[in-house]
Amino acid sequence: MGAFKTYHYSSGRTYGERLLGGLMFLLLIALLFYLFFQLFLLLWYAVPILLIVLLIMDARVLKAHLQTIGRQIAQQPVSGLLGAAINLLGLPIVLIGLILKSWIFKRFGRVARETASIGQDPQFTPYEEIESKTEENPTRQRQAVAADHRYDDLFE
């Protein structure tokens, strides 16, 4: 006759305790959702200020973003309109991202332009061709001979 094993998981908590813990967890999630919604609502009231800050920092970033959305709508109308709607719903977050992008361009773009301008000199550097003979270093020649000798020993 076969022996049957049964496994039973029990946390040691009663049904009421588990129900109370689940309700407290749902209450915590609802509270966090409410707090994040209030923060998002506050950011919606700050949209005009964020837009002005972005325009002061660099209006080209906003122009490039709008052109990207326009290109997306022209190439793929359904997904472009869906992307535009998502951008409109998340406008405060998008504006904060564009402000950060503008700050990064202002902060690090200048360094890139400076290095690019240094590397591209419009004037050619005058030079003069000279003939030179390079002499082999005697120690290097001895090392090369010793290396050849060891290599030849492998085939003996």
What's the pLDDT tens digit per position in 21-32?
A: 999 999 999 999
128 in any annotated domain: no
What integer pLDDT is reported at residue 64 of this predicted model? 92
Same domain for 21 and 69? no
- Looking at per-residue pLDDT, the higher value among 155 and 28 belongs to 28
Band of the pLDDT at 12, cuts 50, 70, 90? confident
What integer pLDDT is reported at residue 148 of this predicted model? 62
4 in any annotated domain: no
Same domain for 25 and 55? no
113 in any annotated domain: yes
Note the helical H segments in the chain.
15-45, 47-57, 59-75, 77-89, 91-119, 138-153
Backbone angles phi, psi at 14, to 5 degrees: -80, 170
153 in any annotated domain: no
What integer pLDDT is reported at residue 118 of this predicted model? 57
Same domain for 34 and 96? no
Cα 82 from Cα 27, distance rounded (Å): 33
Mean pLDDT score of the chain: 84
Neighbours of 90 (CB within 10 A): 14
Same domain for 56 and 94? yes
Same domain for 21 and 34? yes
Band of the pLDDT at 91, cuts 50, 70, 90? very high
Q: How many distinct structural domains can be found in the chain?
A: 2
Average pLDDT for residues 35-48, to the nearest whole number? Answer: 95
Same domain for 76 and 107? yes
Same domain for 101 and 69? yes
127 in any annotated domain: no
Cα 6 from Cα 77, distance rounded (Å): 58
Task: Choose the most confident range, by mean pLDDT, from 69-78, 113-122, 132-141, 147-156.
Answer: 69-78
61 in any annotated domain: yes
pTM of this prediction? Answer: 0.57
Same domain for 24 and 60? no
- Least confident stretch, 41-45, 86-90, 133-137: 133-137
Cα 24 from Cα 30, distance rounded (Å): 10
- Looking at per-residue pLDDT, the higher value among 140 and 86 belongs to 86
What integer pLDDT is reported at residue 136 of this predicted model? 66
Domain that holds residue 113: 46-117
